[in-house]
Structure 1
């Protein structure tokens, strides 16, 4: 098969180079079955994610949907933060209290600070009550402020979940309370029956936590506050104790759950959901995200989270597989049209870091996909090409394909031109074209004999 036919075939098959290179390093990718057998986690579902690499280190029933209880409020927090960053709100924006938010806030059987209808609270007052104390009335008031109504806000919640790839998520309210608890306010989000509730999977919640941390890291400065007084609109301050007992700063009765580096994110509990927790911990820049759903007690959700965090830190380490600007070894240079050089080598545009089990060896390989918008119809790049110009991306793969990433886009390492290729002048280009024309004629004639 001649070169031109090969190029045409290359273009038809998706303009994808599959790199035959194998990179060997100490460590191994996590095996889901192995992790599950080893940990024996006492929860209906769970997941552990390395935030830095985006790799999943453990999962159990991670795609099964369950009621998330107050872990729902992470989406409410995200959308409030989004409104703050877009300047639609400020921390000092005043918020009025509707009859709905007022009545729910008076029920001290739920997590709440009692709100007043004759008082305007700041966004900060309500956000801190929601993020630290899981106050349901405060969450409703913020949802109404951002969306105009909680019903409109729920539309935003579901749209954002879809954007994040939270395929199992379905929200009907901003708090995580079930319809049976909301009484006459239970029709929001399209569920009128008393069994209506929000539904999410552990994987959905991990994706949401990832975006909260990545997009609005200042949310952690509030979620890590262990204790704060609520003073807005009250004569006697209300002590808000964070339900996340893994945070530092608690007294002796909760100190047994403390885990160094924990700074978030959200607990949840209802009779239907059981005890749940989306946690995150950061040690020396190495951050983990965990979700446990449906544990049997307040303490068990933290004990199971500790098991996950210990597993992540003790059994795994980060490995640099390739450095920035390192050539993609084994990858053929890409043909360049109208260039002073006929081809260009490829390099990684950023370091390639993976999370691997300690001990043993594993083969990791890369699949390189070129950006079709950069290519001519014959599969060549067009000169000029700048050094460092992005021309595609590489993904870390195993023999069974891309493995264990929370968000597939996180496993896309930019691939760049390793060198500059200038465009030839028009005079040289003309002679190249003439040469190509006659080469084609001679080839045609040769084919006749």
Structure 2
């Protein structure tokens, strides 16, 4: 009997140990303490920010700048302004940058023209600066890097990248560009020491738009290597399934992008990552890590936190009605009130165990109400009468990378209400008149 009890205890302890291994404990958001100057984790489907540290601090994004160049080239291709088969010459400026040390150079030549597809491949996979400049200088698009920078800043405004400033297409500092830096749109663009600026939040939003509007970018960013005019170029994203021994330790399941950056000792190493697991895609940004290894390790920590702790959940379905607030009075109608409901459901990534921390708040459009607080008939089914806001009562609410995304839906009427005919309105008026007299007389004797 004694041996049986000991065996049972051993089995229980083994089961607990297996449980810990199978279901590792992950840190709460407030305890992540990502080793970088700023960071952000975003759910791609909804744009909801799941975690952030110093996300609004503008920094030099280095080669992550190229994501805007990638966006504009793909947009031009979709609009028919440029085709993948088009070719372009290599300017003296681009050729000079290609020959500089530490310039991610693939060695562009001026003896023949390069296709747009090959230049894009060199930019998106190998982060080649000269190829990026050659694309910015396309005669069919901007004609010069200076004009292209104007396009970059205009698109940043359209996207709502509030902290963004672009002074060149590559992410290099202007001082590195052999005195050939573009003028750009901002006064700083003419500054020989000018730098590009992005915050982690704006970088995540740029990545979100790039993936949403031009998913073809993943065909390039997911390639560990590629062939480029007789040479093999390597993707600087070590989290991809590289064959090199040094990279294997950083592989992350589902990773397929997006862009690395390196400012050297001043602001450190950057990485905008994206990965998909079980149909769920996340976007991460690390800015100002102390080494290449740290930027990838911290990206993995953010990804792990997002994939393990959040589940996309329909908290309140379309048609949901708040108890005790499901009707609103109606004036001059055949019905005295009308039911109201959510036009759409609230479906967001919810951290495990926090489902009960969400509630709904109705915001009725008071301009639609008469002086008695009634909607006035006639009323159509599905008529918008206000907004329903999703309210979170927990800690660390980071919002969304796009304004107004996901936290409000329209509040609508569930049915239609016809306007009462003149006879019924007259009877109602007479009833109100005598009711008023009765109340007055009653007041005399009270």
Compute the TM-score of the two structures, normalised by the length of structure 2: 0.80
CA contact (8 A) 2:39 2:286 kept: yes
The separation in 2 between residues aligned to 1:98 and 1:57, in whole angstroms, is: 44
More moved, 241-250 vs 377-386: 377-386
| Shift in alpha-carbon separation, 1:371–1:250, aligned structure 2, 3 A | farther
The aligned residue for residue 11 of structure 2 is none
The aligned residue for residue 46 of structure 2 is 53
Q: For residues 13-162 of structure 1, what are the structure 2 equivalents within 5 Å?
A: 35-36=29-30, 38-117=31-110, 119-145=112-138, 146-162=141-157
* Pair 1:420-2:412 in alignment: no
1:360 deviates by: 6.0
User: Larger radius of gyration, structure 1 or 2?
Assistant: 2
CA contact (8 A) 2:339 2:415 kept: no
More moved, 357-366 vs 285-294: 357-366
CA contact (8 A) 1:322 1:353 kept: yes
CA contact (8 A) 1:94 1:123 kept: yes
1:294 deviates by: 1.1
* Pair 1:188-2:180 in alignment: no
More moved, 172-181 vs 240-249: 240-249
| Shift in alpha-carbon separation, 1:377–1:252, aligned structure 2, 3 A | farther
1:422 deviates by: 5.3
The separation in 1 between residues aligned to 2:79 and 2:429, in whole angstroms, is: 57
1:260 deviates by: 0.4
More moved, 130-139 vs 98-107: 98-107
CA contact (8 A) 1:128 1:222 kept: yes
RCO higher in structure (CA 8 A, sep ≥6): 1
The separation in 1 between residues aligned to 2:195 and 2:318, in whole angstroms, is: 47
SS across alignment from 2:341: strand
1:443 deviates by: 7.7
1:175 deviates by: 0.9
The separation in 2 between residues aligned to 1:418 and 1:279, in whole angstroms, is: 43
1:386-418 C-alpha deviation (Å, 9 max, x unpaired): 44x555443322359993222232124433536
Number of aligned residues:
406
More moved, 169-178 vs 265-274: 265-274
SS across alignment from 2:191: coil
| Shift in alpha-carbon separation, 1:430–1:152, aligned structure 2, 3 A | farther
The separation in 1 between residues aligned to 2:135 and 2:115, in whole angstroms, is: 10
1:131 deviates by: 1.0
| Shift in alpha-carbon separation, 1:433–1:174, aligned structure 2, 3 A | farther
SS across alignment from 2:232: strand
1:371 deviates by: 6.3
The separation in 2 between residues aligned to 1:447 and 1:186, in whole angstroms, is: 85
| Shift in alpha-carbon separation, 1:98–1:364, aligned structure 2, 3 A | same
| Shift in alpha-carbon separation, 1:416–1:361, aligned structure 2, 3 A | closer
1:277 deviates by: 0.1
Q: Choose from 208, 212, 231 the match for 1:210.
A: 208
* Pair 1:429-2:421 in alignment: yes
Q: Choose from 256, 259, 263 the match for 1:266.
A: 259
The aligned residue for residue 164 of structure 1 is 159
CA contact (8 A) 1:395 1:411 kept: no
Q: For residues 248-259 of structure 1, what are the structure 2 equivalents within 5 Å?
A: 248-259=241-252
CA contact (8 A) 1:347 1:416 kept: yes
CA contact (8 A) 1:348 1:413 kept: no
The aligned residue for residue 322 of structure 1 is 316
1:71 deviates by: 0.4
SS across alignment from 2:352: strand
1:314 deviates by: 2.4
The aligned residue for residue 21 of structure 2 is none
The separation in 2 between residues aligned to 1:127 and 1:372, in whole angstroms, is: 53
| Shift in alpha-carbon separation, 1:129–1:283, aligned structure 2, 3 A | same
1:122 deviates by: 2.9
1:187 deviates by: 4.6
More moved, 82-91 vs 361-370: 361-370
SS across alignment from 2:301: helix
The aligned residue for residue 18 of structure 2 is none
1:20-79 C-alpha deviation (Å, 9 max, x unpaired): xxxxxxxxxxxxx9634x223211111112223333222222111110000001111112
| Shift in alpha-carbon separation, 1:333–1:70, aligned structure 2, 3 A | same
1:72-100 C-alpha deviation (Å, 9 max, x unpaired): 01111112222222232232233343333
1:181 deviates by: 0.6
CA contact (8 A) 1:50 1:289 kept: yes
The separation in 1 between residues aligned to 2:151 and 2:109, in whole angstroms, is: 27
| Shift in alpha-carbon separation, 1:124–1:187, aligned structure 2, 3 A | closer
SS across alignment from 1:259: coil
What are structure 1's unaligned runs of at least 5 residues? 1-32, 232-236
CA contact (8 A) 1:396 1:402 kept: no
1:261 deviates by: 0.8
CA contact (8 A) 1:126 1:142 kept: yes
CA contact (8 A) 1:344 1:417 kept: no
The separation in 2 between residues aligned to 1:142 and 1:368, in whole angstroms, is: 50
* Pair 1:284-2:287 in alignment: no
